[in-house]
Amino acid sequence: MNNNFSLSHRKEEPEKGILYIVGTPIGNLNDISQRALNILSNVTLVACEDTRQTKKIMSKFNISNKLISFNKHNSSIKITKMVKDLKEGKSMAIVSDAGMPGICDPGEDIVKGAKIEGINIICIPGACAAITALVSSGIPSSSFVFEGFLPKKQIDREKILLEISKNEKTTIIYESPKRLKKLLNELKEFCGGDREIMVARELTKKFEEHVGNNINDVVEFFREKDIIGEITIVLKGIKKRDLNLDKFIMKKDLQDLINAGLSLSAASKYLAKKNGLKKSEIYNLI
């Protein structure tokens, strides 16, 4: 296959003073669009999460352009200069290591800063791991919630996990391979082991893998494995009235209230009123 990118096909010239949000492949470099290559070739400069990763794309398609580093470690310092360059008429593309800038990376910060200064933003769409995993999961995709990476602080993490457990919409989560087993066990605790789930690993790459069915099965599948690669999780929402899950959640809520200092009677009265049930029904959960 000839991977050379012909100059004769570069029909879209970047406009002065425009910030281009450019989607790049999430694994397979051939997924990049012709339009993205046009922009990367002709903007004044390209801001990269990691210049080493972007150079792989530039090299594959014989593109030469000025690259600058823009990531979570230096974004607060770089934004002022980048906005200044744009206001002076330079055109700029921002790319992440993989996928769409602004999704779980500081791309959203430069977009916000540019918008405040009246700079125009144009998005050059590309691959996104969340959407790629969602549409290939077989789990309802018309309505969903994207959580990205869950918080590391335990109290914040448990709050999000509880919200996920009650959500009727499909949930999409990113996770690192080192923390996947921990997250799967947390999802089992909060959502129950029967909840439908799909774990996508190494999307668009040679060893792409989809592991699914329910949380119990996925926990068992990964139990003894050394996990590598980028991970995207798609979790089915609850049915509008999933009585077993309602009881599971209410039992956990009841225990949390008791642990917080309420008596069984007071906690049961509160939950009964909240859920439109008899107090005796809450008592029976213990």
Across residues 49-69, what is the average pLDDT?
94
Confidence of residue 278 (pLDDT cuts 50, 70, 90): confident
Fold (CATH) for 7-127: Cobalt-precorrin-4 Transmethylase; domain 1 (3.40.1010)
pLDDT in tens, 185-212: 999 999 999 999 999 999 999 999 999 9
Give the pLDDT confidence score for residue 76 in this predicted structure: 86
Distance of CA 238 to the CA centre of its chain: 20
Across residues 154-172, what is the average pLDDT?
93
* CATH class for the domain made up of 130-235: alpha beta
Contact 106, 71 (CB under 8 A): yes
Contact 227, 248 (CB under 8 A): no
Distance of CA 167 to the CA centre of its chain: 17
Contact 135, 143 (CB under 8 A): no
Say yes or no to pLDDT of 91 above 50.
Answer: yes
C-alpha neighbours within 13 Å on the C-beta side of residue 175:
24
